Amino acid sequence: MKCVLCQSLLKNQLAFRELLLGSQVKNHCCETCLNQFKLIDSSIEQRCVYCKKISKEMICEDCQYWKTNEMVLESHYVLYEYNEAMSEFMTSYKFQGNRTLAKAFSSDINQVFKRLTYDMVIPIPLSKKRLADRGFHQVEKLLEDARVDYDPILKKRRHTRKQSGKTKEERLKTIHSFYINQSDQDIIHQKTIILVDDVYTTGSTILQAKRYLLSKHAKKVITFSLAR
């Protein structure tokens, strides 16, 4: 088996990591490549208690903005910092369509879900246009390769410009219109849901989706992203 990033042979170099985590799902990424990605650890860095952004304040300015907009804020679960290596990964994976890269962090994602208690997992949806342009749903692919079952019942009502092409102010003010078909709404009633996105930037997308699910009587919505 080869590393999906550098194509070097993996051999047995990940055996100890997988044994330590107790995982039956492998990261298809060598240690050299994995070391380029920075794991987020709030115990050694001062970060926002909610979104895990590096911040001198307990609550960062983005989360303070959401609090003034009556958003329900709780601790966000995230694995990696959006550093240069993660930016290059996302460019190749999401924007250039190299979907085999989804396997790079499979074990790490799988372990997060093993630690959490929940009823169902819902990925952030893509608009029909974005899905047609991209050819695959990058969040669903991450979950599939991590062997995490999910329910793709959340839909996006309209197409919006890519978040990556917006300024911070534009991202914060973007209105996302989510919906669930009437026939599916009973599925989330009083359920604890993990809402999943690939990247958390200002929180605009995932927090607005969370607010919608809570408005439809979800019991609790936990948010998770691969990177922030």
Residue 46 lies in a domain: yes
Amino acid, single-letter form, for residue 19: L
Quickly count helices (H) and strands (E) in the chain: 9, 6
Query: Among residues of the chain, what percentage have pLDDT more than 90?
Result: 74
Tell me if 110 is assigned to some domain: yes
Residue predicted with more confidence, 20 or 87: 87
Per-residue pLDDT, averaged over 198-202, amounts to 95
| Cβ(120)–Cβ(151) below 8 Å | yes
What's the total number of domains in the chain? 1
- Does 164 score more than 80 pLDDT? no
Round to whole Å and give the CA distance between 220 and 206. Answer: 14
Task: Report the distance separating Cα 165 and Cα 201, nearest Å.
Answer: 12
Q: What is the DSSP letter of 47?
A: B
User: Which residue segment(s) compose the domain that 85 sits in?
Assistant: 38-227
Band of residue 166 on the pLDDT scale cut at 50, 70, 90 = low
SS3 label, residue 171: helix
pLDDT band at 162 (very low <50, low <70, confident <90, very high): low
* The pairing of beta strand 192-199 with beta strand 220-227: parallel
In a domain, residue 33? The reply is: no
Domain membership flag for residue 74: yes
Which CATH number covers residue 70?
3.40.50
Which of these ranges, 21-30, 151-160, 176-185, has the smallest mean pLDDT? 21-30
Domain membership of residue 32 (yes or no) is no
pLDDT value for 108: 93
In a domain, residue 30? The reply is: no
pLDDT of residue 14 exceeding 70, the answer is: no
Strands 154-156 and 178-180: antiparallel
In a domain, 161, yes or no: yes
Q: Is 36 left (phi over 0), alpha (psi -120 to 50) or beta?
A: alpha
pLDDT, tens digit (0-9, with 9 covering 90-100), for 31-68: 899 999 999 998 889 999 999 999 999 999 999 999 99
pTM above 0.85, yes or no: yes
In a domain, 21, yes or no: no
